[in-house]
A = this chain, B = another copy of it.
């Protein structure tokens, strides 16, 4: 399955786990979550809903629309909830490394109600952030911001480092809390 599809489907499953919603409302929530960075087209959302319905992960009931066309209220099935947890517990590598996808995982990680399973996912992100990697190399050696002439490329490295540090410190704090919760 395509990677974008995976993330969109995760968002659909995640939002529906909270409450049954119709497509149009789902669209607005997804737009709020990821739309300011990368908008989702209607013609991408509705086919995705159909796929999930066909796979038995969600069910639809028709309700009269509020001053408009009838709504298709969508509800997660038991398989849908199980699938959501499976996807949250075992995200693909790209869902860990790509910030957009990672944020989507984080947005719904609370649905994975086992603290140690949540911690495992955070640890994968931590391992990724810790490995010494750059955007620019001299042979095999990753270059640091100070070694790059070009101010724009230097900016990339400066910003990436700041993000990395902020996130690592958040990860350490949160993992500490999760481990304490797991010990209860």
Contact = CB atoms under 8 A, between A and B. Distances in A.
A178 to B, nearest CB: 8
B163 A159 contact: yes
Interface in A36-85: 36-39
Contacts of A174: 151-152, 155
A159 B167 contact: yes
A107 B174 CA distance: 33
A152 B109 contact: yes
Interface residues of A, number: 39
A152 B32 contact: no
A107 B135 contact: yes
B166 A38 contact: no
Contact of A166 (B39, B97, B99, B162): B162
A24 interface: no
B106 A155 contact: yes
Majority secondary structure of chain A interface residues (helix, strand, loop or mixed): helix
Contacts of A109: 152
A136 to B, nearest CB: 7
A156 interface: yes
A110 B151 CA distance: 8
Interface string A91-121: 0001001111001001101100000001000
Contacts of A39: 94
22 contacts: A32-B134, A32-B137, A33-B135, A36-B97, A37-B97, A38-B94, A38-B98, A98-B100, A99-B99, A99-B100, A106-B155, A110-B151, A110-B153, A118-B152, A151-B174, A151-B177, A152-B174, A155-B170, A159-B163, A159-B167, A159-B170, A162-B166
